[in-house]
């Protein structure tokens, strides 16, 4: 689609060309959008900035029901800070009971769409959700789970996942959800670190029509951990091995459970959940989120960023195993008492227009997905969405990685019909909720540009020394958002080092690079550390190297993210074999499969190069910059500091380098 044609089709918005050619188009909300939006007055940014702490205090009081009001809104002792100190609440009570009290018990909370088309979608009202959550809370108690205990959740995207999370929150237990496509090894590492007492899992689930035997992975994953009981949801009906005394069926326990469970009175700063995420080391880190601040931030970001009203149907396509699923496919929508849709399966199964069919059928109004999915659909062509009536949509969102111009315009045009603003939301597992975006009633909406700091938060683009600069690192300034992580589980040194050491505890370092854009906006350009985003999934090179080095044939490895037209990035591995091991194509294939098994299928390297040597500095550090340039055919640059500069020549041949030298 030519830019001119696009321009003429968009008549509801005011637009102009800004200097930066990459930001050729800027859209503003229509009058109708402004009228409907919760926020349409841009002065909110200045008002919030005058006293951000008071601003958040007001939001916390308005958005949530507290059992006891807090004594102090914000206390900061960097790199630690607390919100709503002394306040008491229960997030499950706020997400469920409150809506029953308000007479909204019959409203649909969750529409669940199963992958197999023969199965009917399931609708769960707030009243039914309340019943299920109360029962499961009692189930957890009967299994010995107490306030503060950790519960592992390893489930596909079925409503039991939200029920289990809310039930944990109800009794003050800490949930730790593990992505269901992660391997048993990945599960074990997370369960071990969290010291989980109970695991909630399922027999199996469907992915692209194929049955995945989840219980078999769960059985492997709990081996040697502190898990005492396993609750199994019957989802796929596949044959499973139930271990006597350890494993119990969800439906049997639920049938017998008492239907009412008082919500625990939690402190605002009590831990709500752990979510493991990839950092710069081999082991994933347990990001700690607490109750009051997180609830406040996800409540308000859901409401304002997705502009949700009572008649909306919100669909966030993220799996629950990621933070996006936690905040926008569970807590955020439910805290707001709105209806949300969740879909179990693959976007293109059984037909490549499955998503658009779901939007049409259920009349989804606000749709939130990842650029990687959009890029996949760009490749499939415009005809697919055209087959469907997508006129119910009024707002679109993206998350997970920078969105390129082409994907943005395609999404805007073919899914949003040129009507719907796109809010490009920047945030991280660590920030709990989205922090940089454009508000739909305020704008502007610019391809490739995330937007402005959410009212009451501050971000800056800075150089190494902490001075503002047009191109540099993205940092967050005090007061730190209420939904921010409060630490890394049992890894305080790592917490200080990863986020706070660079700017001596003054600013939070995000790990992202960024540029200042027009209209006070920020364009986030991607990670500057060893974190990769592969099809929107966060992985670390160190984690994959660690897994690779555990293979018996491998002596050393380096995993490098390579740009990929659909996935954004894809891992490529350089491997040195142990002495006496003969290289072969079979072995390279086996190493790919090995990563799939040890980490999960999403982490499989696209290529494995078996090499003799890796370029190293005299101090023995692998020069990743060179390994990357070899993959992207960029200039290799200075090799004079290398201990083994001759290694580069043989690597060039190996990877088929065609760059300038």
Residues forming contacts to ligand 6R9 in the complex (CB under 6 A) are 277, 322-324, 399-402, 424-429, 450, 510-512, 524, 526-527, 533, 538
Would you say 376 or 651 has its CB closer to ligand 6R9?
Answer: 376
Nearest residue (CB) to ligand 6R9, 353 versus 401: 401
- In the complex with ligand 6R9, the residue whose CB is nearer, 410 or 426, is 426
Beta carbon of residue 642, minimum distance to ligand 6R9 (angstroms, whole number): 29
CB of 533 to ligand 6R9, least distance (A): 5
CA-based diameter of the chain, in Å? 74
> Could you tell me which residues come within 8 angstroms of residue 472 by beta carbon, excluding any fewer than 6 positions away?
461, 462, 463, 464, 513, 514
Taking the complex as a whole, the smallest distance from the CB of residue 312 to ligand 6R9 amounts, in Å, to 21
Give, to the nearest 10 degrees, the angle between helix 647-655 and helix 624-632: 30
- Joined together, the tokens standing for residue 184 give 């048993």
Tell me the H-state helices in 550-611.
585-598
Q: Which is nearer to ligand 6R9, 177 or 266 (CB)?
A: 177
Tell me phi and psi for residue 200, to 5 degrees: -105, 125
CA of residue 603 relative to chain centroid, distance: 16
Between 154 and 426, name the residue whose CB sits nearer to ligand 6R9. Answer: 426
Residues 6+ apart with CB under 8 A from 601: 181
Pairing of the two strands 72-77 and 80-85: antiparallel
Residue nearest to ligand 6R9 (CB): 429
CB closer to ligand 6R9, 413 vs 498 = 498
Q: Give the nearest distance from C-beta 499 to ligand 6R9 in angstroms.
A: 11
* Rounded Cα gap, residues 132 and 259, in angstroms: 8
Q: How far is the CB of 528 from ligand 6R9 (least distance, A)?
A: 9
Handedness of CA 506, 530, 410, 632 (dihedral sign): positive
> Is the N-terminal amide bond of 217 cis, ω within 30° of 0?
no
Q: Which is nearer to ligand 6R9, 206 or 276 (CB)?
A: 276
Phi, psi values for residue 557, rounded to 5° = -150, 160
Q: How far is the CB of 389 from ligand 6R9 (least distance, A)?
A: 28
Neighbours of 106 (CB within 10 A): 10
Give min distance, CB of 257 to ligand 6R9, in A.
34
Give the burial class of 101: count Cβ atoms within 10 A of its Cβ; 0-12 exposed, 13-18 middle, 19 or more buried.
Answer: exposed
In sequence order, what are the beta bridge partners of 461?
474
Q: What is the DSSP letter of 625?
A: H
Would you say 540 and 280 are in contact if contact means Cβ atoms under 8 Å apart? Answer: yes
Q: How far apart are CA 465 and CA 442, in angstroms?
A: 33
Cis peptide before 479 (omega within 30 of 0): yes
Which residue has tokens 């800075």?
462
Q: Any residues with CB less than 8 A from the CB of 493 and at least 6 apart, and which? A: none
- Beta-carbon neighbour count of residue 251 at 10 Å? 11
- Output the smallest distance, CB 43 to ligand 6R9, in A: 25
Cβ nearer to ligand 6R9, comparing 162 with 425 = 425
- Decide the pairing of beta strands 174-177 and 271-277: parallel
Least distance from ligand 6R9 to the Cβ atom of residue 620, Å = 29
Residue 254's SS3 state is helix
Q: Which is nearer to ligand 6R9, 97 or 424 (CB)?
A: 424
User: 3-state DSSP call for residue 386?
Assistant: helix
Given the complex with ligand 6R9, which of 132 and 540 has the nearer CB atom? 540
Work out how close the CB of 157 gets to ligand 6R9 at its nearest, in angstroms, rounded to a whole number: 17
Q: Nearer to ligand 6R9 by C-beta: 140 or 287?
A: 287
In whole angstroms, the minimum distance from the beta carbon of 72 to ligand 6R9 comes to 29
Nearer to ligand 6R9, 354 or 452 (CB): 452
What values do phi and psi take at 366, rounded to 5? -130, 125
Residue 126: enclosing H or E segment and its boundaries?
helix 126-142
Min separation Cβ 277 and ligand 6R9, Å: 5
């Amino acid at each position: 689609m030519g830019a001119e044609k696009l321009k003429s089709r968009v008549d509801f918005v005011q637009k102009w060309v800004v200097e930066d050619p990459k930001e050729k188009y800027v859209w503003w909300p229509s009058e109708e959008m402004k009228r409907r939006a919760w926020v349409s007055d841009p002065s909110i940014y200045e008002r919030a900035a005058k006293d951000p702490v008071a601003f958040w205090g007001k939001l916390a009081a308005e958005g949530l029901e507290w059992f006891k009001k807090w004594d102090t809104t914000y206390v900061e002792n960097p790199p630690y800070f607390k919100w709503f100190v002394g306040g008491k609440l229960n997030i499950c009570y706020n997400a469920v009971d409150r809506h029953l009290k308000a007479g909204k018990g019959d409203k649909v909370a969750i529409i669940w769409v199963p992958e197999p088309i023969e199965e009917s979608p399931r609708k769960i009202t707030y009243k039914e959700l309340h019943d299920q959550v109360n029962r499961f809370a009692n189930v957890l108690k009967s299994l010995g789970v107490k306030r503060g205990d950790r519960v592992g959740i390893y489930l596909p995207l079925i409503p039991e996942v939200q029920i289990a999370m809310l039930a944990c929150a109800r009794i003050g237990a800490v949930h730790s959800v593990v992505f269901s496509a992660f391997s048993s090894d990945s599960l074990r590492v997370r369960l071990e670190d969290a010291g989980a007492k109970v695991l909630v899992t399922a027999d199996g689930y469907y992915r692209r029509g194929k049955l995945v035997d989840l219980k078999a992975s769960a059985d492997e994953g709990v081996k040697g951990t502190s898990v005492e009981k396993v609750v199994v949801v019957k989802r796929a009906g596949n044959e499973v091995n139930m271990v006597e005394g350890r494993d119990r069926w969800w439906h049997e326990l639920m049938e017998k459970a008492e239907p009412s469970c008082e919500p625990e009175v939690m402190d605002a700063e009590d831990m709500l959940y752990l979510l493991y995420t990839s950092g710069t080391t081999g082991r994933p880190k347990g990001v700690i989120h607490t109750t009051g601040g997180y609830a406040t931030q996800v409540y308000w970001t859901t409401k304002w960023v997705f502009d949700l009203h009572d008649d909306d149907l919100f669909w966030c396509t993220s799996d629950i195993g990621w933070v996006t699923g936690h905040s926008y496919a569970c807590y955020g929508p439910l805290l707001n008492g709105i209806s949300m849709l969740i879909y179990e399966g693959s976007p293109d199964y059984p037909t490549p227009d499955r998503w658009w069919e779901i939007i049409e059928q259920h009349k989804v109004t606000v749709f939130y997905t990842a650029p990687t999915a959009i890029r996949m659909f760009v490749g499939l062509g415009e005809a697919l969405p055209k087959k469907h009536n997508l006129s119910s949509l009024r707002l679109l969102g993206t998350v997970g990685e920078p969105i390129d111009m082409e994907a943005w315009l395609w999404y805007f045009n073919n899914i949003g019909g040129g009507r719907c603003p796109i809010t490009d939301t920047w945030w991280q597992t660590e920030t709990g909720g989205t922090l940089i975006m454009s508000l739909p009633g305020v704008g502007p909406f610019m391809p490739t540009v995330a937007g402005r700091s959410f009212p009451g938060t501050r971000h800056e683009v800075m150089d190494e020394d902490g001075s503002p600069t047009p191109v540099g690192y993205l940092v967050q300034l005090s007061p730190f958002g209420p939904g921010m992580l409060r630490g890394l589980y049992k890894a305080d040194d790592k917490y200080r080092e990863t986020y706070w050491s660079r700017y001596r505890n003054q600013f939070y370092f995000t790990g992202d690079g960024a540029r200042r854009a027009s209209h006070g906006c920020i364009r986030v350009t991607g990670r500057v550390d060893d974190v990769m985003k592969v099809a929107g999934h966060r992985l670390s090179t160190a984690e994959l190297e660690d897994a690779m080095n555990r293979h018996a044939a491998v002596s050393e490895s380096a995993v490098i993210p390579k740009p990929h037209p659909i996935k954004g990035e894809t891992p490529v591995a350089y491997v040195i074999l142990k002495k006496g091991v003969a290289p072969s194509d079979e072995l390279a294939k086996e190493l790919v499969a090995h990563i799939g098994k040890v980490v999960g299928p999403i982490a499989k390297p696209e290529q494995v190069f078996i090499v003799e040597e890796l370029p190293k500095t005299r101090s023995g550090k692998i020069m990743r910059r060179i390994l990357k340039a070899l993959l992207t055919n960029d200039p290799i640059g200075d090799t004079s500091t290398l201990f083994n500069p001759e290694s580069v020549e043989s690597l060039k041949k190996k990877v088929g380098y065609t760059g300038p030298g």
